[in-house]
């Protein structure tokens, strides 16, 4: 079980965080959840799809690999994309709730058992006099964005479900002599269904900013070809 602690500049004054990426740090994931606020950047690098979570609810994800425990954006030199999803960027930190003067407040917590957390190498969390470093200030912004995005992504997906715009898909990928790989278990947007929506429905989607998000998701599917090329290059090694 993870050892989560409320971050403070007394107990954790000497802590540092390794910010490089490795399978040893849990970065060898097939997909990672993403949020509407980051789709403009994410769609330029990753195929964006829908996958069921542990509660059998759809979540929006960036596809990183073509099989379990595979991240084709990860190699010995680190993360091979100019944009990293927020849940990757946050590292070993998370938003936690704590009691203060009888009220629940949100604050930064850290997983002390995370292998990136140490006292000898990486980015310092606090300055020598106890102030925040730029690194932890950026993490605070990332965590705040993630927290504020929870309801937004849930409402977006609920609207897509209401309009029956999410459909499952399967694709067989030819790996150039190394066999065929089937990608399944994911869903995408039904473009034909989208074309049948009436003006009032499209207006409602547009007023919420959803039309732009929808077309970013559709456009991101062109990145699947790039992901396949990464897979082929890795298989060929």
Q: Percent of the chain beyond pLDDT 90? A: 84
Q: What is the pLDDT of residue 102?
A: 66
Q: What is the pLDDT of residue 176?
A: 72
**CA torsion sign, 196 to 199 to 200 to 203?**
positive
Q: How far is CA 77 from CA 20, 80, 180, in A?
A: 9, 8, 28
User: pLDDT grade, residue 179 (50/70/90)?
Assistant: confident
Q: What is the mean pLDDT of residues 142-171?
A: 96
State the number of CA atoms in the 13 A half-sphere of 164 facing the CB: 5
pLDDT at 177 over 80: no
| Structure-block tokens of residue 151 | 């309801």
pLDDT digits (tens, 9 = 90+) for 197-236: 999 999 999 999 999 999 999 999 999 999 999 998 888 7
DSSP 137-200: HHHHHHHHHHHHHHHHHHHHHHHHHHTT-EEEEEEEEE-TTS-EEEEEEEEEE-HHHHHT--HH
d(C-alpha 13, C-alpha 6), whole Å: 13
pLDDT at 101 over 90: no
pLDDT at 1 over 60: no
pLDDT at 163 over 80: yes
Q: Please tell me whether the overall predicted TM-score, pTM, comes out greater than 0.85 for this model.
A: yes
Q: What is the pLDDT of residue 97?
A: 78
Q: What is the pLDDT of residue 93?
A: 97
Residues in Cβ contact with 121 at an 8 Å cutoff, skipping those fewer than 6 apart: 16, 18
pLDDT digits (tens, 9 = 90+) for 22-71: 999 999 999 999 999 999 999 999 999 999 999 999 999 999 999 999 99
């Amino acid at each position: 079980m993870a050892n989560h602690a409320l971050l403070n500049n007394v107990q954790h004054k000497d802590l540092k965080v390794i910010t490089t990426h490795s399978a040893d740090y849990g970065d060898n994931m097939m997909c990672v959840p993403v949020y509407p606020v980051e789709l403009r950047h994410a769609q330029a690098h990753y195929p964006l799809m829908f996958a069921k979570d542990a509660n059998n609810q759809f979540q929006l994800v960036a596809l990183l690999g073509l099989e379990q425990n595979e991240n084709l954006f990860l190699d010995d030199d680190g993360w091979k994309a100019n944009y990293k999803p927020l849940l990757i960027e946050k590292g070993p930190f998370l938003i936690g709730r704590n009691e203060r003067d009888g009220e629940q407040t949100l604050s930064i917590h850290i997983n002390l058992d995370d292998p990136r957390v140490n006292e000898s190498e990486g980015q310092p969390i606090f300055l020598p006099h106890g102030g925040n470093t730029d690194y932890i200030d950026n993490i605070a912004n990332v965590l705040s964005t993630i927290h504020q995005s929870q309801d937004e992504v849930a409402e977006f997906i609920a609207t897509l479900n209401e309009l029956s715009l999410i459909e499952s898909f399967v694709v067989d990928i030819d790996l150039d002599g190394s066999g065929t790989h089937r990608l399944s278990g994911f869903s995408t947007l039904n473009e034909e269904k989208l074309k049948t929506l009436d003006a009032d429905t499209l207006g409602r989607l547009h007023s919420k900013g959803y039309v732009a998000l929808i077309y970013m998701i559709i456009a991101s599917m062109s990145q699947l070809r790039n992901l396949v090329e990464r897979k082929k290059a890795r298989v060929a090694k």
